Structure 1
Amino acid sequence: MQQILVVEDESVIRTALRRLLERNGYTVAEAASVQEAEAKHNLIDFDLIISDLRLPGAPGTDLIKKAGDVPVLIMTSYASLRSAVDSMRMGAVDYIAKPFDHSDMISAVERIIADHPTPRVEDSQRSATVSDDSGDPVSGIIGNCPAMLRLFEHIKKVAPTDSSVLVLGETGTGKEQVARSVHQHSKRAGKTLICVNCAAIPDTLIESELFGYEKGAFTGANASRMGLIEAADGGTLFLDEIGELPMEAQARLLRFIQEGEIRRIGSVHSRKVNVRLICATHRNLHSLAAEGLFRQDLYYRINVLRLALPPLRERGKDILHLAEHLLQVQAQRLGKTGMELSPRAIQAITTYQWPGNVRELQHAIERAVVLAEGQEIDNEVLGIDLELVNINRIRGQGIQTASHHTPRNITSDPAEDLSLEDYFQRFVLEHQDSMSETELAQKLGISRKCLWERRQRFEIPRKKASSGSGRRRKAAS
């Protein structure tokens, strides 16, 4: 059973988070500060540490170095979002904004623990071997999350061989970049790399494009033409979106893979070619083959070595690093140096799901650099509506909202599992005597107007000034 340490000075949040995690099968320890966490616990014994950013005494980011290889998830309000991003640069595995939804927290915990298993000696030795290797087979590919590190290690093993490679990943994840990396670090690096998008060529032309044709083979064939496979002789052929290849072309491609030869359309002679094949697809070829929509024998031929690219939404803090890199590239290209992402832009980038993956992020950054009027890029020029993103996340997780007419029981045991509405009501009631409205709003990560609106919705009146404070104001006047 995984062990989690929660470091949070607010007892309501700490207790609710402990109950939430325990209910989902985790063993949970608590601390109210960094100093208490060090005094009571051995930090390296935990699988994950969840810490508030702002704590009495040392900040939560101090745990990053103290915990060694144990991942640290930082909790923060919107008001300190920039500091949360800085903490990620310091080594925090991720951050989550308060008040957080239960499903968001559990999803983050599951993902982080899955991506950061308890270190083993052999794992550390393997990591050291990978980092010490002078030959870099992943130049041009940015990524430091566990999934990408595994991909880089596989590329190192795959690149020197001549075996066929199948690259899997959603649209826009960078499959062509992976194919280029495999080619550049293979024995064929000095030869030609031919890239073909099978979905971009009409079915009637795909065979002639791949295999070439002889003069007079069909109407309009006024001269013989070399095909793309033949043009890649000695090098590498990359067939992107191979799942879109017509069945007739699949049969001819299978013969090329089996025999190492091609025959131009209209010719009676075959030609030997020495080509390494790399294929890519976003589709499930195994299911297509089972349904008769893709040749099974071809699937088995191309599925020799397999490289899987994770979607951008599953790459954790890689998203922010990639966005900042793309921002520098685009700003330099357009002569707009010194540009940076605003806190709202960072929040948008790290919470948006990016269905178009790296390609969508690249286009969003390019558009933002072109449209931005100052040095700072906001979420609006990125084309991301933060409110819509949050609403979609809540809808997707089936959050039950509170009734406007029936307020929740706000006097129950503070150790109960709190919803977002429960958390808001309890926090306001417990702190409105000691905090101003501005301080309450900042701690909750919302505006004063939003705080007022939620007070009205949950029927929580503002605390009137005490008679003592009134007398003090009168005496002062």
Structure 2
Amino acid sequence: MPRILIVEDEEIIRSAVRKLLQHAGYEVADAGSVEEAEDKHDPSEFDLIISDLRLPGAAGTELIRRAPDTPVLIMTSYASLRSAVDSMKMGAVEYIAKPFDHDEMLEAVEGILARQPQVSSSAAQPSSDRADAGSPDSDPASIMFGHCDAMQKVFTLIRKVAPTETTVLIQGESGTGKELAARALHLMSPRAARPLISVNCAAIPESLIESELFGHEKGSFTGAVSARTGLIEAADGGSLFLDEIGELPAEAQARLLRVLQEGEIRKVGSTQSRQVDVRMIAATHRNLKAMTRTGDFREDLFYRLNVMQVRIPPLRERQSDILGLAQRFLQRQGEKMSKPGLNLTPEAMRALERHRWPGNVRELENAIERATILCDSDLITPSLLDLDGEGGDVNIPETLVDGNNEQAPSREAEATSDLSLEDYFQHFVLENQDRMSETELAQKLGISRKSLWERRQRLGIPRKKSSGN
């Protein structure tokens, strides 16, 4: 059983991550600082260290030096994202930005452990159907699930293109699993031992996107108190996954084109360029070809990206995979929540097969997670799945209502009390997006910025363009 050390000074986060990993089958120890970790444990004896970047006393990156043979996963807030990239240059194997979803953490842990020769692939996957990753011999079918003909064609294409250096454009609706396809392309490539840097272009404010991707020099803009490494440079030798690339602003598109054409980057505020060796993987749910005709996307960049195209089919085109996916999610959620042995009733199975799944695989996973939480027996019924989005008897948590805002009238909370969660989300975002940034909206709703953006896409709520976001 893999042993994991968590180093985090916030008790709530430390406890949550510890319980998550213990439920997933790992042996876990924890500490509140680097010094405490060394006093109570020997960090070098663990298979993986998960550490916050900012800690009282020594920084989390100090563990990279003190346990040189143990992989270190750095946790960081969005505001410290660039520092996390710097930590990868120091030797961290990967970073994960707070707030993160449980599956994001499990996926990161499993991927790191699977790449370590001392950990068997079976041990690295205590509760998931994700990859036996880390070598060109990995198979996309171990990362993504799919028995239907459409998915088998996707797997075949990934197997052929992964070992090459070809740029790949992954197309598919939100929630279909484009990021998993990118991970499969990376893990089956000769670059598998190097970083895979994933960037959601829609989740980064436009004012920061160039600095995040290309880095910046000290003093290049207000707040640039020191030079920073960009995400493209951090991916040097590995792969860069640009999710929702259609959301890139025009100037960033021009700079990215130079990376693809010349293999070089220039930091914001710098006059010097440097060469980078990066395999580019992009993804979008939008029609980039149509966007070139309207001038919203550079035509020359489109043709540079569209060397090889992988289309991930929506779930409604994968009818034979629905129940298989549901059973896998049900097993995973049951183990995570200590509810083993859950089963779908025949009526629930028929409801799953009849549903159109506009949110695709992610919507299915959310439905199973919701049903697992609400289930009081061993059987999942259609009412627990709540596929009509009516919410049933589920009440909106009080923490989602902006009760701390003195300007919010109480009648607004009353008016939303009988809404479904999706209705409430839409109501809350439309009511507050003019006076709140994307970060503030996500924090109030208790979700990540990426989840906020994905729900906007699914519900058709346009994102307000402002410097405050």
Q: Please, what TM-score do these two structures have when normalized by structure 1?
A: 0.53
Correspondence for 1:367: 370
Q: Does residue 1:354 correspond to 2:357, yes or no? A: yes
Runs of 4+ in 1 over 3 A off after TM superposition: none
Cα distance, 1:136 vs. partner? Answer: 2.2
> Counterpart of 2:339?
336
Q: Which residue of 2 aligns with 1:185?
A: 188
Query: Is the 2:137–2:188 Cα contact (8 Å) retained in structure 1?
Result: no
In the alignment, does 2:252 pair up with 1:249? Answer: yes
Amino acid at match of 2:239: T
Match of 1:289 in 2: 292
Contact 2:172/2:178 (8 A) holds in 1: yes
2:266 to 263, 272, 284: 263
Is the Cα–Cα contact under 8 Å of residues 313 and 357 in structure 1 kept in the other structure?
Answer: yes
Matched, 1:304 2:307: yes
Q: Answer with 1 or 2: which has the greater Rg.
A: 1
| Cα distance in 1 between the residues matched to 2:365 and 2:252 | 33
Distance 2:173 2:223 in 1: 38
SS of 2:319's equivalent in the other structure is coil
What whole-Å deviation, never above 9, does each CA across 1:399-423 have from its counterpart, x for those lacking one?
A: xxxxxxxxxxxxxxxxxxxxxxxxx
In structure 2, how many angstroms separate the alpha carbons of the residues matched to 1:210 and 1:141?
A: 28
Tell me, yes or no, if structure 1 residue 313 matches structure 2 residue 316: yes
- CA deviations on 1:185-217 (whole Å, 9 max, x unpaired) are 100000000000000011111000000000011
Structure 1's 386 and 290: CA in aligned 2 closer, same or farther, altered over 3 A? closer
Task: Give deviations 1:384-442, integer Å, cap 9, x for gaps.
Answer: 2499xxxxxxxxxxxxxxxxxxxxxxxxxxxxxxxxxxxxxxxxxxxxxxxxxxxxxxx
Aligned with residue 199 of structure 1, among 192, 202, 214: 202
What displacement does 1:140 show?
A: 1.9
Letter in 2 for 1:311: P
- Whether the 8 Å contact between 1:348 and 1:386 is mirrored in structure 2 is no
Query: CA separation in 2, counterparts of 1:220 and 1:375?
Result: 55
The alpha-carbon deviation at position 137 of structure 1 amounts to 3.4
Residue of structure 1 in register with 2:71 after alignment: none
Counterpart residue type for residue 229 of structure 1: I
Distance in 2 (CA, whole Å) between partners of 1:256 and 1:135 is: 28
Residue type of the partner of 2:152?
Answer: L
After superposition, residues 6-405 of structure 1 pair within 5 angstroms as: 136-385=139-388
Gaps of 5+ in 2: 1-135, 391-469
Whole-Å separation in 2 of the counterparts to 1:309 and 1:188: 23
Contact 2:174-2:285 at 8 Å conserved across structures: yes
CA distance in 2, matches of 1:317, 1:328: 19
The amino acid of 2:198's aligned partner reads C
Asked if structure 2 preserves the Cα contact closer than 8 Å seen for 1:379 and 1:386, the reply is: no
Distance in 2 of aligned mates of 1:380 and 1:140 = 30
Q: Which residue in 2 is equivalent to 1:425?
A: none
The AA in structure 1 aligned to 2:179 is E
Percent of residue pairs identical: 58
Relative contact order (C-alpha < 8 Å, sep 6+): which is higher?
1
**Cα distance in 2, alignment partners of residues 373 and 295 from structure 1:** 53
- Kept in 2, the 8 Å contact 1:171–1:357? The answer is yes
CA–CA distance in structure 2, aligned partners of residues 381 and 148 of structure 1:
29
Offset, 1:263: 0.3
Q: Which runs of 5+ in 1 are unaligned?
A: 1-132, 388-477
SS in 2 for 1:306: strand
Q: How large is the RMSD of aligned CA atoms in angstroms?
A: 1.7
Does the CA contact (< 8 Å) of 2:167 and 2:305 recur in 1?
Answer: yes
CA distance in 2, matches of 1:134, 1:270: 35
Q: CA deviation at 1:348?
A: 0.8
Q: TM-score, normalised by structure 2?
A: 0.53
Deviations 1:50-76 (A, max 9, x none): xxxxxxxxxxxxxxxxxxxxxxxxxxx
Q: How many residues align?
A: 256
- Work out the CA distance in 1 between the residues paired with 2:249 and 2:269: 19
